[in-house]
Structures are given as structure tokens and as C-alpha cells.
Structure 1
Amino acid sequence: MLELKTPQEIAAMDVTGSFIAELLDDLAQRARPGVNLLDLEHRARDLIAERGAESCYWDYAPSFGSGPFRNVICLSVNDAVLHGLPHDYVLADGDLLTMDIAVSIHGWVADSARSIIVGTPRPQDQRLIRATEEALAAGISAAQPDNRLGDISAAIGAVAADYGYRVNTDFGGHGLGRTMHEDPHVPNVGRAGRGLRLRPGLTLALEPWFAAGTDRIVYDPDGWTLRSADGSRTAHSEHTIAITDGAPLVLTRRERVTEQTSTAATGTAG
């Protein structure tokens, strides 16, 4: 069942989204060659505790996972793309790292993911990340009132096709609000003009993710981490958005972190 949010409830989700943007920015700056994934996990735990937030991942036990997830962030490296279980792995120069996190503040959830390159970038990895970011931007642009859910999916899928990447349909975006996963499911490929009509108050996590060489995925023995079936590199970009009467609101946008940092550095005229 769909639950449309009031402007006040969207404002509450925006607070959570702002925190997530700050947290991912902090971790991105710390992700350097020689850093252990477990260090990033524990940094995320500390930030969540300091903010008085709650992890949506801790003890999460969906049908697609193996038992309760006992971490607060998904960290996926290179050919791993979704649900990466933080473990004792030291990041190497050139690794492609995806960070995905959802938290709740005062009962309102936001969800975001970002892929970065650790150390020296490879052009093909930069291209892959750029494709997910452009697909996410296209999906957000299509999230207009009275459009259809298929317009979002088609916009994301069109960018993947332009880059020559195939789209997996097993996992995609989703609704969220009081909980991390609500209706509707948002595929990363679809037909424009089809599906649910978008209405103000609908809040969605859009999350295009692509593998360089395949649309098939396999599970690690840990029962959580999903990898490309052919071992090719992967990338994932995600934002939480709200449908409004006008342009969609991006509740987990990174730009806000930059703006806040710039204001703090320059001060304001009195």
C-alpha cells in the first residue's frame, strides 16, 4: 500500500537525508589505499551513534539475505555491487568502492549509495560510475507529478543503453518513509507512460546500478554480497527523492554538504 507523505514528513526525511550525505562524504574522504573496510564500518557506527540515528541495516533479515545483517553499511568492492558485507579487507590503489547506507532519525528513513575510486582511477571505472550518476539524474528528472513510474525506469534504462550496459531487473529502487522498503518497486528499466501515476508526497529511493560486462549476478558465500557473474567491475548510485507539485526534491543530495562547508569557511555578513 502506498503512503503519501505530508510536507512536514518530507521535511523530517530531509533531515535524515542531509545526515546521510554528510556521512558518505566523511567516509569517501577516509577511503584511501591501506584503509580496512572494517575501519569504515566502525566510523559509520560512530557517526550514527553521535547523531542519535538508528541503522536500518542492523539485524535486517530479508528473504534475499543470509540471516540478520550485523553491520550498519554495505561496502562493495570492484565486482561486488550490492549488499557488500563489511569484512577484513584492506583497500588497494584503484579499487572501486560502493558505499550504501540507510538510517532513521526520529522514525523517518533516507537511503543513499555512492561509488568512488580509491587512489588511482581507471578510465573504464570512471565511465561506469558516470553512467550510474547520469542514469540517476535522468530518473530524478522524470520524477514529475502526473508522470508514470515507467517514465523513471525508462529514463534510467535509456542511459544504460546509451553506455552499452545491460540492466539487471532483480534489484532496483523502492519506496521508503517510516521503513526502509515500501511500495512501489522501481525497476532500472521500463516503458515510458506505464505503471503507477506519480503523485506529490510519494517518496522513492532511485538506485541505478550497472556491471561493465553483464546483467547477471551471483552471491558470495557470505550469503549477502552480490557480484557480477563475469567478474566485471560494478557501480551504484542512489538518492532518496520526494515527488512534489513541481520539481522533485533530492533529500540525500551531496551538493548540500559542499554548500554547508563553504558557508562555514567563509562566514556570513552581519
Structure 2
Amino acid sequence: MQENATRASASRAIPFDAAKLDRLMDAAGLDVLVATSKHNVQYLLGAERAIFFDYMDALGVSRYLPVLAYPKGAPDKAVYIGHRLETHQRAVAPPWVPQVRTESNGSVDAVMRAARALKDAGVPIKRIGVEMAFLPMDAGKALGDALPDAELKDALLVLERLRAVKSAHELAKLKTASELVIASMLEVIAGQGPGTTKQQLSDALRVAEANRGLTFEYCLLACGSSHNRAPSAQRWEQGDVLSLDSGGNYHGYIGDLARMAVLGEPDTELKDCLAEIEAVQRAAFAAVRPGAMGGDIYVAAERQLAHITQRDCTEFLAHGMGLVSHEAPRLTASGPVPDDTDARLPLEPGMVVSIETTMKHPKRGFIKLEDTVAVTAGGYEIFGEDGRGWNLGGSAR
């Protein structure tokens, strides 16, 4: 098969902080970085994911594996190995990478081509950083066999540290994603009434997000006194609370937020419960500022939690957001991704944190607020602040 090597425009800027990546690679003892996850390849490439493989990886008897090889200090010798089915896409919008070769047929073929390109470039390849969690066994073995004198080291955390501080362009996407998720939730809440099933609510939210240009990722929802958040045949009835927690993807960046609704008017108890959750959220927001330790967010939240009436059934969580849900900054050793590295490090402008307070009330049900908060030079900014109170179901009918 004839090789397809495309030269990117010389004026195309590298979309990430190459000097920072070089420093991170140097500290980790890496000569070359070989990225193979779709999110990190998107980030390093500065281009949209391959259209054909946006939702799937399996193809025939192999899988799609994008490979971006970046030699430390030598971006002019970087190479991107893509699949043949993304040739037209890369021709329309050429990435910055000097060599863009859309010629692979599967995972092993992709890494073998990347290995040959690195050998031809004449760069040091003694220590190669790979994404162990995103490198298939067949590709990993093939890479090791092709470069037998090289040491393969895990570079997943190097890439996460690189992405921890978002650019203005990334922040704009996260803000848009958050605002569109909230708008979609409010539309669904207002348009649905008694008797609507949780599955129908989830389906309606999927459509609402798609109509706003989002890729629907998930909807966790609970109604009535149940704490079960899976879509089901359970119906939302008069007087029931509804918790909507959804992730909507905007060009790779995830808006992850939660809002509350009720069919009818909220009584005093419900108003008090949500007010307590709001107080915890606001206390956590106030701790978000550049230079503050990441763990200060938890200190502030826990201090406020100690004063609420429903403390025994309320929990708090804060985690980074971006191309990946639960990415850096990592703030807790007891969450879904147990790692508190950033609890002891200062927050930086451009970091983005999801802040969520959840009350599992034994009688009134699942009550939650989740917000996306960016660290700014002067403190913080909330992305998607609408709908924080009790939203009334069926109000648009």
C-alpha cells in the first residue's frame, strides 16, 4: 500500500504547552511520548477525533488505535499515525504535526508504523512513555518487539498533568457544554409531567442535548423516595422530587451537572434541604482561588456540612473536569477515583473542578446539586449557574 505522508502547514501553532510537556517528560525520564487514547490524541493533535471512530474502536479483527509520537524537545519530528478511514478528515483540517500518516489498518499496524517513524527520525528512543491503560496488549507487545532496547514506561499521569490547566479555548468549550446541559435539563423538566417514566425522561434529555449540539453521554436520575438513579419504568408522580445528573460532551469536553425538580410546589422541608446543599456548595466555591491548596475545598465543605440538619445522609465530592470526567486536579482519596495528589498542591488559574453535594434523604429521596467551577486569576467562575432552586415539572404545559 502506498504511504500517505502529509505535511502540516508550517504556520499551524502547537495547540498545547510544548515546553511544559518537555519538562514533564524530563522529570519522568522519558525520551519519547506515544499517546494512544482518543482523548489525549485529540488534545495533542489539536483536532477533532476521527469521525468514523468517535463511538467505537472495534473494526474487523482488530481495533482503531490513533498513535501520536512526540519526541522530547523535537516537535518537528513528531508523527501522527491514523487509520485510512480518517484520511479525508485530516486533509480538510491538517493538524500541526509535521507528519500525518493516515495509513494504518489496526492496532499492531499503527504502533509498528510509529516505531519505524521514530527510528527514521533518529531521535533518542531509550525510554518511551506510553498510556498503559490505553495500549492494547497486542500493540504493546508489538511496540516492545519493534524497539527491543527501549524501556516502556507509563506516561498517563504526565499527560494528565499537562491537561490539568485549561487554555482559554478549552475553558470556553467547558462553559458552553455546562450551559447547554443546564438548558437541556430545564427544557425536559418544564416539558414533562406526572406519569413520565425515568426512561422517558432520560430519552427526552438525550434529544434535548443533541438538539443543542451536545453528544449525550449519560443521565443519572432519581425520583420519589428512591435513591436508584438508573433509567427505568418508574414514574415521576405528583409531589415527587426529581434529580437529574447528566454529562453532555461538546467537542470532547464534558459538562457534568445536576439539578433538582419537583412535580407541584416544594414544601418547607424540601426548600430547607436544598438550601442546606446550596450552602455547602457556596462554601466550597469560596475556597476556589489561585494559590489555595486543593484540599481547602474539602475543608470548607466539611466545615459547612457539620452545621446542616441532614449531615448523616449528605456527602460531598470535588474532582477535576475536562476531556475526562474525574481528571486532575485530584482532591480526595475516598472518591470514585481515589487520589488526593492535588489536595496538597496549589490551585492554578485554568483548572476546572466539579463540585457536588448529595443528600440521600430517607423519606424525600435523592437531592443533589453539582456545578462546574473554573479557577480564575481573581477567584472562580461558575459555568452554567441557572436552575439552582426547585424547578417545577410540567411548567411549560
Deviations 1:91-138 (A, max 9, x none): 122212110001111111111001222214232222111211221122
Select the structure that is richer in strand: 2
2:385 corresponds to which of 253, 257, 267: 253
Q: Which residue of 1 aligns with 2:347?
A: 198
State the secondary structure of the residue aligned to 2:344: coil
Structure 2 length as normaliser, TM-score?
0.50
Does 1:109 find its partner at 2:257? no
Does 1:237 find its partner at 2:369? yes
Q: Which residue of 2 aligns with 1:265?
A: none
Measure the CA separation in 1 of the matches of 2:169 and 2:180: 17
State the secondary structure of the residue aligned to 2:254: strand
Q: Which residue of 2 aligns with 1:141?
A: 286
Q: CA deviation at 1:205?
A: 0.7
State the secondary structure of the residue aligned to 1:56: strand
Measure the CA separation in 2 of the matches of 1:183 and 1:251: 18
Q: Which residue of 1 aligns with 2:310?
A: 165
1:38 partner amino acid: Q
Measure the CA separation in 1 of the matches of 2:364 and 2:281: 21
Distance 1:54 1:88, change over 3 A: same
Distance 1:51 1:76, change over 3 A: same
Select the structure that is richer in helix: 2
Measure the CA separation in 1 of the matches of 2:195 and 2:189: 14
State the secondary structure of the residue aligned to 2:169: helix
Q: CA deviation at 1:165?
A: 2.6
Q: Which residue of 1 aligns with 2:232?
A: 87
2:196 partner amino acid: V
1:95 partner amino acid: D
Distance 1:153 1:167, change over 3 A: farther
Contact 1:157 1:167 in 2 (8 A): no
State the secondary structure of the residue aligned to 1:93: coil
State the secondary structure of the residue aligned to 1:183: coil
Contact 2:314 2:360 in 1 (8 A): no
Q: CA deviation at 1:31?
A: 4.2
Contact 2:310 2:359 in 1 (8 A): yes
Identity %: 24
Contact 1:208 1:238 in 2 (8 A): yes
Q: Which residue of 1 aligns with 2:359?
A: 210
Q: Which residue of 2 aligns with 1:130?
A: 275
Distance 1:80 1:154, change over 3 A: farther
Q: Which residue of 2 aligns with 1:34?
A: 195
Deviations 1:154-198 (A, max 9, x none): 2222332221232679872311101222134445x9xxxx63321
Contact 1:56 1:180 in 2 (8 A): no
Unaligned runs of 5+ in 1: 58-72, 213-229, 257-270
Contact 1:116 1:129 in 2 (8 A): no
Measure the CA separation in 1 of the matches of 2:190 and 2:371: 19
Measure the CA separation in 2 of the matches of 1:6 and 1:170: 31
Does 1:50 find its partner at 2:196? no
Measure the CA separation in 2 of the matches of 1:209 and 1:183: 21
1:98 corresponds to which of 240, 243, 262: 243
Question: RMSD between aligned alpha carbons?
Answer: 2.7
Measure the CA separation in 1 of the matches of 2:300 and 2:315: 18
Contact 1:97 1:115 in 2 (8 A): yes
Greater RCO between the two (CA within 8 Å, min separation 6)? 1
State the secondary structure of the residue aligned to 2:378: coil
Contact 1:111 1:252 in 2 (8 A): no
Structure 1 length as normaliser, TM-score?
0.72
State the secondary structure of the residue aligned to 1:147: coil
